[in-house]
Chains A and B, each alone.
Chain A
Amino acid sequence: MHPAPSVIVFTVLSGLGFGFLAYLGLGLIAPTGLNAFLIYGLAYGFAVIGLAASTFHLGNPQRAWRAFTQWRTSWLSREGWTSVITLLVMAPVALMAIFVGFPSATLGYPGAAMALITVFCTSMIYAQLKTVPRWNHWTTPALFMAFALTGGAILSGMTDLAVALCVILAVLLVVGYALGDGRFVQRGSTMETATGLGRIGKVRLFEPPHTGTNYLMREMIHLVGRKHAARLRVISILFAAVLPALALLVLPASIATIGFAVALHLIGAFAARWLFFAEAEHVVGLYYGAR
């Protein structure tokens, strides 16, 4: 799949923002006054910038409100609802922390739950697609949740929890890469099933339908950059999980350390999410003799 910058920024930053909001809603970090203003501002900033980025790849963003109508069937629509509800429910929590001086558990707990449900809905937009076998697996929601929880824990300055989650994230990344590599073959779609010509023999593309490229090939058959996949996998695990954990353990606890660890984590998260798209193979590639 084409790793469009808008969807990478969307999933990484909104995941981080909603993960952070979950910790704030649970009261695991309870800033007050000006601190609360800055910290809630940061969480909202990540979430809103992420959500805004998601509209950049739309062909007709002026109609984006229509995406709220089909929550009964569409994970994308559900994600729209849960993200807006989370931001609305958490707003009074933030205002109370800033002006009254303590967070509201009454709204904070539901807000935290909604924040995590939002991340889950985002992951299901991808995990639901049978056409992309690598995504169509439990590791997709697990990884999205692990990224949100790890990033949120680092931002919350909860060293022990953050380190533990970094370990879980690293394991999940390794498992995700390992299982992902065999998913396309396991799904069983081949040029023979795609064309139904397997009963005659082995199928190969003789001539593509056109000499140029097209939307389908640009969007779903992304071969460029897969050659760096092995190196990027190592980078993603190192930066998303290993180095932030080391930084939190070794460096003295301070805002600078947290900022440094988050920066490392984000580099890894962007590398992992880039690979998430670039390595994902869509079955339509079979009609073009490619994967």
Chain B
Amino acid sequence: MTELPPKSKKKLGLVIDLDICVGCHACVTSCKGWNTENYGVPLSDMDAYGADPSGTFLNRVHSFEVQPPAGPAQTIHFPKSCLHCEDAPCVTVCPTGASYKRAEDGIVLVNESACIGCGLCAWACPYGARELDQAAGVMKKCTLCVDRIYNQNLPEVDRVPACVRTCPANARHFGDLGDPDSAVSVMVAERGGMDLMPELGTKPINKYLPPRLKDRPAAKPVTAIADIEATGIAGWLDRLLEKF
């Protein structure tokens, strides 16, 4: 049913710390691996070993350069996947009911056996979180690893999304953002967790922790090596070598 469910109390989602992400793409790889072998059709690749390879991914890491008004630019690695929005426009546009938001925990999913592959939900998503699998012709998106987080067959430590489990820098966190006392909610409150493109009114569940502002001005550029005045033996060598 593509009507949005009443707002759930439980709002499972991710919190991504942009101060910590090193842009290693491990989350991209583990996501592709888990979701190719588990829930739904595999994430296919087209022309994987050819001249123009492309493929379906549920999580991609962009890298941005941000230039503050003063001082050097900052590089910020920016993982992006479905934000499981509260007012998910991808759900209501779906003509078949394949795209839906779960009432119990707010996860946005695609029922692949009902998806006709029209692509309208991908058009409706501002974040590029949905990709039409070119082999299966159905829409793929982040499931928040719904087949891991409730999976009693996995050790408890593994009952988190694959991207969170694999992140070597601990930049990704999973939890209930509907519970103000959860670890992720506390983190969001402390660090000023933010929404992406809030002007579009999608009310994302996933939050991004902005990089902390630099607490001291950038150091002066290192003095050019040639200008350093060598002293002692190095100075003697310097003067000696200049004679040749």
Name A residues whose Cβ lies closer than 8 Å to a Cβ of B.
1, 57-61, 63-64, 66-70, 72-77, 80, 125, 128-132, 187-189, 191, 193-197, 199-210, 212-216, 219-220, 282-284, 287-288
Contact = CB atoms under 8 A, between A and B. Distances in A.
Interface stretch (B6-14, B75-83, B160-168, B232-240): B75-83
Interface size class of B (residues with CB under 8 A): 35 or more
A102 B120 CA distance: 42
B129 to A, nearest CB: 9
6 contacts: A67-B96, A76-B95, A201-B74, A203-B66, A207-B63, A210-B57
A262 to B, nearest CB: 29
Contacts of B115: 59-60, 63
Contacts of B211: 197, 200
Contacts of A197: 18, 64, 66, 76, 210-211
A39 B154 CA distance: 66
Interface stretch (B142-150, B171-179, B195-203, B215-223): B195-203
Contacts of B123: 1, 129, 131-132, 219-220, 282
Instruction: Please indicate which of the listed interface residues B95, B194, B211 has the most CB atoms of chain A within 10 Å of its own CB.
Output: B95
Interface of B: 1-3, 18, 28, 52-57, 60-69, 73-76, 78, 80, 89, 91-98, 114-120, 122-128, 131-134, 136-139, 194-201, 208, 210-211, 213
- Nearest 7 A/B pairs, CB to CB: A59-B117, A59-B137, A209-B60, A66-B96, A67-B95, A77-B95, A201-B68
Given A129-B124, A130-B89, A215-B134, A72 B200 contact: no
Nearest to A202: B67
A212 to B, nearest CB: 5
Contacts of A208: 62
B63 A57 contact: no
Contact of B210 (A61, A73, A196): A196
A215 B58 CA distance: 12
Given A66-B97, A131-B200, A200 B114 contact: no
Contact of A195 (B28, B53, B78, B89): B78
A80 B95 contact: yes
Contacts of A287: 62, 80, 127-128
Contacts of A72: 2-3
Given A70-B94, A73-B2, A284-B126, A203 B197 contact: no
A193 B62 CA distance: 15
Nearest to A218: B54
Nearest to B79: A209
A209 B21 CA distance: 14
Nearest to B202: A130
A216 B200 CA distance: 19
Contact of A193 (B125, B199, B201): B199
Nearest to A221: B128
A134 to B, nearest CB: 13
Contacts of B136: 59
B131 A214 contact: yes
A64 B117 CA distance: 9
A190 to B, nearest CB: 9
Contacts of A131: 89, 123-126, 200
Nearest to A66: B96
Contacts of A282: 123
Contacts of B94: 70, 73-74
A142 to B, nearest CB: 21
A197 to B, nearest CB: 5
A102 B132 CA distance: 49
A187 B198 CA distance: 11
A95 to B, nearest CB: 30
Nearest to B91: A73
Given A66-B96, A130-B200, A73 B63 contact: no
Contacts of B28: 209
Given A59-B133, A69-B96, A130-B200, 9 more contacts: A60-B117, A66-B97, A73-B91, A191-B64, A200-B74, A201-B73, A214-B60, A287-B62, A287-B127
